[in-house]
Amino acid sequence: MAKLEARGIRKSFGPNEVCRGIDLSVDQGEMVCLIGASGSGKSTLLRCLNLLEPIDDGEIWLDGQDISIPGLDPQPVRQRIGMVFQSYNLFPHMTAVENAMLAPRRVRNMTREALLAGITELFERFGLKDRMEHYPDQLSGGQQQRVAIVRALAMKPEIMLFDEITSALDPELVGEVLDVLRQLREEGMTMVLATHEMGFARELADKVCFLDEGVILEEGPPEQLFGAPMRDRTRAFLKRVL
């Protein structure tokens, strides 16, 4: 059974149908990369997966449970499926550790001390221990994005969604954020990434999905999708970006 499975997802904004029947299956511990031109529907699909956007049609299954049934409380699902965005959106008036503590303190029934111990461990694990008491404007973009990842991990999600998390960074800061993803993958996290980092996807993805105008036009292991794409549009896209 897949850890997370989308079946026939459809999503429109007004007359604009952005997801036009998307099937996506993510196994436990897999890293799936979504690639495709701007506007192809990657962000919308990710937002649908953790119920930030209501879908118009289709189903989303998490651990064998349909999480897309009408009326289901999205909050517990969003705790199980974490998401990190291109813009890290840390609260500027709170330190890194306060930012990371905020959401878990609201929902998890733990003392501040117990929570702090777990979160300190996360900061350590991702090389940010000495940045915990810093405010966002005292951190580089790469460090802020890493704090945003730690903040999402503080909820102990089972799956992480990443939406172009390196796209706003100066090139020299991209590597340290990709290293965090690499580490998470080694630790067995189940992940879905929308990314423009083709080298990274090629190196580390278990599966790459090429989105085109709201459908997954082609998917496969990276060596196949990058090495021997079958569709003209996939080839044209790769030619443009590589």
Nearer to ligand ADP, 214 or 229 (CB): 214
Identity at 23, one-letter amino acid code: D
Interacting residues with Mg ion (CB under 5 A): 42-43
Q: How far is the CB of 40 from ligand ADP (least distance, A)?
A: 4
Q: How far is the CB of 64 from ligand ADP (least distance, A)?
A: 27
Q: Which of 53, 57, 62 is nearest to 28 (CA)?
A: 62
Nearer to Mg ion, 43 or 234 (CB): 43
Nearer to Mg ion, 42 or 151 (CB): 42
Structure tokens at 205: 């993805």
Q: How far is the CB of 89 from Mg ion (least distance, A)?
A: 15
Q: How far is the CB of 61 from ligand ADP (least distance, A)?
A: 21
CA distance 167 to 86: 6
Q: Among positive and negative, which fits the CA dihedral 186, 150, 152, 84?
A: negative
Interacting residues with ligand ADP (CB under 6 A): 13, 16, 18, 36, 38-44
CA distance 85 to 89: 8
Longest dimension (CA), the chain: 56
Main-chain dihedrals φ then ψ at residue 126, nearest 5 degrees: -110, 25
Among Mg ion, ligand ADP, none, the one that 36 touches (CB under a kind-dependent 5 to 8 A) is ligand ADP
Nearer to Mg ion, 43 or 190 (CB): 43
